[in-house]
Amino acid sequence: MNCIFMYNPQSGNGVINKKLNYIIEKLKKQYDKVDIYKTEKPKDLKIEAEKACGVYDTIIFAGGDGSFNEVLQGVAEKDNRPTLGYLPCGTVNDIARALKIPRTLKKSVKNIIEGEIHNYDIMKVNDHYAMYCVCAGAFTSASYLAPQNKKKVLGRIAYGLQGIKNNMRFDNFTIKFNSEIAHYETETVFVLVMNGKTVAGFKINNDSKMDDGKLEVVIVKQHPNPTLLKKLKAFVNVLKVFILGYKRLKEKEIERVEGSHFQFNTNENVIWNFDGEKGISGNINIDVLPLHISLIVPKK
Domain ranges of the chain: 2-114, 130-290
Pairing relationship of beta strands 2-7 and 33-38 according to DSSP bridges = parallel
CATH 3.40.710.10 at 130-290, yes or no: no
Which residues on neighbouring strands pair with residue 285, listed in sequence order? 263
User: In the chain, where do the E strands start and end?
Assistant: 2-7, 33-38, 58-63, 83-88, 116-125, 128-130, 133-137, 173-179, 183-194, 198-199, 202-203, 215-221, 254-259, 261-266, 271-274, 277-281, 284-297
Among 7, 199, 143, residue whose Cα is nearest residue 85: 7
CA dist 141 → 29, 59, 162, 166 (Å) = 41, 29, 8, 8
Per-10-residue mean pLDDT, the chain, length 300: 89 80 94 93 91 97 92 96 94 90 94 96 97 90 52 43 50 92 92 92 89 95 88 90 89 92 96 92 97 95
Looking at residue 249, its pLDDT comes to: 86
Distance CA 228, CA 206 (A): 33
Looking at residue 143, its pLDDT comes to: 62
CATH class of the 2-114 domain in this structure: alpha beta
Looking at residue 157, its pLDDT comes to: 40
Instruction: Provide the CA 98 distance to its chain's centre, in angstroms.
Output: 11
* Torsion sign, CA atoms 228, 164, 69, 97: negative
> Which letter does DSSP use for residue 91 in this model?
S
User: pTM of the entire structure?
Assistant: 0.87
